[in-house]
A and B are shown apart, each in its own frame.
Chain A
Amino acid sequence: MSVVTVVRRAVLWVPDWPVVAAMTEAGLGADVPAAVLHGRGLVAVSAAARAAGVTRGSTRRLAQRACPDLAILPHDEGRDSRLFESVAAAAEQAVSGVEISRPGLMIIPADGAARFHGSEEALAEALVTAVAEHAGVECAVGAADGLLAAVLAARSAELVPAGASREYLAPASIDSLALAAMERVQRQEVERLASVLARLGIVTLGDLAALPFADILARFGPVGVWAHRLASGEDLAPPVLRRTEEDIAVEHVFEDPAERVEQLVHVAKEAAIALDRALLDAGMRCGRVRITARTEKGQDLERVWRTDVGTRAGAFARHMTDRVRWQLEGWLSGTAGSTTGDKGPEPSPLVSLGLVAEDVVPRGSEQAYLWGGVSGADSRAHRALERVQGLLGLEGVLAVAEQGGRSPRDRAHLAPWGQEAPPARAIAHPWPGRIPDPPPATVPPVARPALVLDAGGAPVAVSQRLAVSAPPTWVRLEADPSDDRARAANRHPSSGHVGRVDGPVWDRPRPVESWAGPWPVSERWWSEDASRRAYLQVALRDGEGTVTAVLLAYGGGEWRLEAVYD
């Protein structure tokens, strides 16, 4: 039934990796009792803490009762995998290729490496020494045929002889299947399967392996097949070895912290040309460039830009020069990120600049679209937009995307063309109270003032309890700025003003034909940009047979025109 030839492999396992990584980053010594907390329970516990009686899965309070000076560290999967890179690099001092299955666990094909080192014992010793020396981490190494046997062997630092995996696995508990699950979702699924099997009286891997394969498939589906194969000491897939390659990157350190744009123009050009040359030397082209900078205050800034110009000779350096300059200008002046809604970093002089090529592919093997190649029209459009961006500056051309939100303005996401800025809010979230479709075609970038009046001409208000003080009968919007008649009418003494008019110039009042609302939206009450508004959809009669629908919002005692359905 074996589909994949069983590979003899060595497994390198770092016990309690999440806590080891967290302690490394926090700068704690190995003897400090520490634990990593995720959600309500501890997910990893250091050896010192375990000796003090802290167990995995216990709550923070229980753990602190067992060991009052326990250091509780936050959970961070990114940190786990980032720091495991150094362990992998250390292991690569001893062997030529490794597969990182999950942070904390590494698979090495044992045959070749063992031949090189003389024996599997020598290989294990070399690996443990290399990791301890270069990464400063204790680890255990085991070897066996098949994935699960090797993982189990590593946990007890054993070398299982060839062909003995099935016998080695047979007495192991059915729960140990979860050790071979490499992702969290898969792990949950396997744990569920193991608990079902245990309740059916199948408590060891040997029991599971003894069951007929077809019955397992019929009863438990793919997960069952997966478990049966592993329990029989078989393999699912050969190890996928990673290859390490140097990043193609350029780094520039300013001699004096750069404060003015003029200082940067030259540097931006130099850095772009250097990156272009580095890419050319490597025979590569890149799809994206990550621009990083460090400010005098020690803040790290970074932004990813798309580049689609690799094939045009010399264009890459020119293209990148502009982008690097814009980005640095934005960071220097503190305006970067203003269109995306989030606040840009505080303006501060820059001390270093880095460019890293991402999505690197060999020249000539650029990835095409799913259906067909990059069309001529697409590259023509990109060129046109780049030209306009060169004309008007970074924020002259915007790319748009839809994002989650309630008001029509919140649902649009704008970012400078070419910059990678993921939408801030997911569309898939429910957004209760969202203004219902159809969406308005005109959404002013800033809400405009409006007046909503009742039949007697008094302003309409919406109370705390969402009661409208009177049915809205008239609406006055801002007049067109070029409308001289409206301006003159506003200056006329009959409008209540004398002399210069402050505030908006109102258009003539328009009768309300029908209206709906108010719909309350109270957003982000916990933050500074909290808003509490009531929305009103109003249809205004604009003459014979013409109705204009608008969306008005009431908040803070004032009406604002949010959008026009024109």
Chain B
Amino acid sequence: MAETAESRLARAREALAGVQRRVGTTRETWDAPTLPLAPVLDGLLPQGLRRGQVIAVAGSTSLMLALAAAASEAGSWTAAVGMPSLGVVAAARRGLELARLALVPYPGAQAAAAAGACVDGMDVILLGPRLALSEADRRRLASRARERGAVIVADGAWTGAHVTLAAVGSRWEGLGAGDGRLRGRELTVRVEERRGGIARLVTVPLDGLGVPVRRGGGVPAVPGHVRALGGAA
């Protein structure tokens, strides 16, 4: 036996040190492990928006924006990959800083490379529903995000996501029969965590009174005469 226990131990220690040099072990503990999250969403993610996590969101673009909003406001960079129909005004009202938001609307066949580059440089990456990503690409992205401390918020299913949020119910108020306007909204979300536990149902007030809306909240009055004309039918 050429190799003694000591030399194997030394080799293992050396390999570990190499990995630590390359990746850094203290990142998760020393670098702030969570990104800021709007207090409204505390019920969904009680542990906060952990860096390095993948969050799958089904059925609500607003929820994706709300997840990214507080972090963006605090200085994080956000990229939206494969979301050509992202509502820019909605993003701004939710609190995203548009100067630190980049859209990659049509990555096409380069989706994996584009998303990978974004994971390397940005803090929050929103991924659209129809991206050309294979399962292997997704695993690679997730591990890259873990390494870099980025958060991936993906629209649609994602195998191995840390948290899966599915909008299962949504209630709007403010509309009548030909009158009113959309005002408030309650979203019921099913929260499933990878780390066991049964799915929870959480109701979040996403829009409307009592929900802090950032700058420019000036709501123009609905023109009253329009209602009189339109409601005649």
Contact = CB atoms under 8 A, between A and B. Distances in A.
Interface of A: 375, 377-378, 380-385, 387-388, 391-392, 396-402, 408, 411-414, 417, 427, 431-434, 436-445, 462, 465-471, 513-520, 534, 537-539, 544-549, 563-566
A516 B172 contact: no
Residue among A375, A401, A436 facing the most chain B CB atoms (10 A cut-off): A436
B87 A412 contact: yes
A396 B104 contact: yes
B230 A402 contact: no
A383 B108 CA distance: 21
Contacts of B172: 514, 539, 547, 549, 565
A547 B172 CA distance: 7
Contact of A518 (B108, B216, B230): B230
Interface in B65-121: 65, 75-77, 79, 84-93, 98-108, 110, 113-114, 117-118, 120-121
Given A381-B122, A388-B114, A437-B219, A563 B87 contact: yes
A440 B104 contact: no
Given A437-B219, A516-B181, A547-B172, A471 B233 contact: yes
A537 B102 contact: no
Given A400-B98, A442-B87, A515 B175 contact: yes
B175 A385 contact: no
B9 interface: no
29 contacts: A375-B75, A384-B122, A388-B104, A391-B113, A396-B107, A399-B101, A400-B98, A401-B98, A402-B89, A408-B89, A411-B88, A412-B88, A431-B220, A432-B223, A436-B181, A436-B220, A437-B213, A443-B86, A443-B88, A466-B226, A470-B233, A515-B178, A517-B178, A519-B222, A537-B181, A537-B182, A544-B169, A545-B168, A566-B61
Nearest to A339: B105
B180 interface: yes
B210 interface: no
Contacts of B76: 377
Q: What secondary structure prevails in chain B residues at the interface with A?
A: mixed
Interface of B: 59-62, 65, 75-77, 79, 84-93, 98-108, 110, 113-114, 117-118, 120-123, 167-172, 174-183, 185, 188, 207-208, 213, 216-217, 219-220, 222-223, 226, 229-230, 232-233
A340 to B, nearest CB: 14
Contacts of A381: 77, 100, 102, 121-122
Instruction: State the main secondary structure of chain A at its contact with B.
Output: mixed
Contact of A383 (B85, B91, B121): B121
A554 to B, nearest CB: 11
A466 B178 CA distance: 12
Contacts of B219: 436-437
Given A388-B117, A400-B88, A440-B87, A377 B229 contact: no
Contacts of B85: 442-445
B127 to A, nearest CB: 14
A380 B107 CA distance: 20
A445 B181 contact: no
B122 A441 contact: no
Given A397-B103, A401-B98, A440 B90 contact: yes
B83 to A, nearest CB: 9
A434 B182 CA distance: 14
Nearest to B232: A467
A546 B186 CA distance: 10
B229 A537 contact: no
Contacts of B123: 377
Nearest to B188: A545
A101 to B, nearest CB: 36
Contacts of B122: 381, 384
A467 B229 contact: yes
Given A436-B220, A515-B175, A546 B168 contact: yes
B149 to A, nearest CB: 11
B233 A469 contact: yes
Nearest to B233: A468
A530 to B, nearest CB: 20
A388 B133 CA distance: 16
Nearest to B96: A400
A462 B232 CA distance: 11
Contact of B171 (A382, A444, A537, A547): A547
Nearest to A382: B121
A514 B233 contact: no
Given A384-B118, A392-B110, A519-B226, A546 B86 contact: no
A442 B86 contact: yes
Nearest to A431: B220
| Minimum-distance CB pairs A-B, first 9 | A384-B121, A412-B88, A514-B175, A468-B233, A441-B61, A439-B89, A381-B77, A545-B169, A441-B62
Nearest to A375: B75
Given A381-B122, A388-B104, A547-B171, A439 B90 contact: yes
Given A398-B103, A539-B175, A549-B182, 11 more contacts: A387-B121, A388-B104, A388-B107, A402-B92, A439-B87, A443-B90, A467-B229, A470-B233, A471-B233, A516-B175, A537-B175
Nearest to A436: B181
Contacts of B170: 545-548
Given A436-B181, A467-B232, A514-B175, A520 B226 contact: yes
B121 A516 contact: no
B222 A436 contact: yes
Contact of A466 (B86, B181, B222, B230): B230
Residue from the set B88, B107, B113 with the largest chain A CB neighbour count within 10 Å: B88
Contacts of A432: 220, 223
